[in-house]
Chain A
């Protein structure tokens, strides 16, 4: 069964860093483009980044340039998203998703990140 399982809820203080994991099963993480998307409270979906096979090239949304890093550990079939210099505006649900044949066809369950002092 193709599945993405994300790490649990995070509560962070402003200025901190958060690292979320997304573990794949049922398919090879290196076979697909893998994305991160988030949804802030009351807002729409926002694309953040993609990591592409086979050379692990990454593309980031302009809004996150310089504070977002996406990596992949093939030995554990795990994707990581690290976001630094957190502010209250980064409070959101973060999703990892697989791109296949031009669609985001498999999604993680979402990770709630709350940034609060």
Chain B
């Protein structure tokens, strides 16, 4: 089943800014946007951004999501050690009548 495309890994220095991308199509990301999840192994995923790019309450302002056509992005400013995790995007695909996930990006904070 076709999924969204994310870079497998990104490494950035402490206190720097990381931008993670998620490439889809007009049937998914371009249709209703993508949500973003943070996943630390051993814990359930945590929602960082709704499909409308809104941050849930309790999520740091350092996390911001945006979309340009079929590409969604998650920007994390002032990187902290605890930001080291796997990040996933997901979107509803109207052609598949199914949700699709990206393969995930492993963020390393140096």
Contacts and interface: CB of A to CB of B under 8 A. Distances in A.
Give chain A's interface secondary structure class. Answer: strand
A104 B102 CA distance: 15
B78 interface: no
A72 interface: no
A47 B35 contact: no
Contacts of A35: 99
B37 A104 contact: yes
Interface residues of B, number: 28
Given A102-B52, A103-B50, A104-B47, A45 B88 contact: yes
B34 to A, nearest CB: 9
Nearest to B45: A107
Contact of A103 (B35, B39, B98, B101): B35
Interface of B: 1, 32-33, 35, 37, 39, 44-47, 49-52, 54, 56, 86, 88, 90, 96-104
Interface of A: 35, 37, 44-47, 50, 59-63, 95, 97, 101-105, 107-110
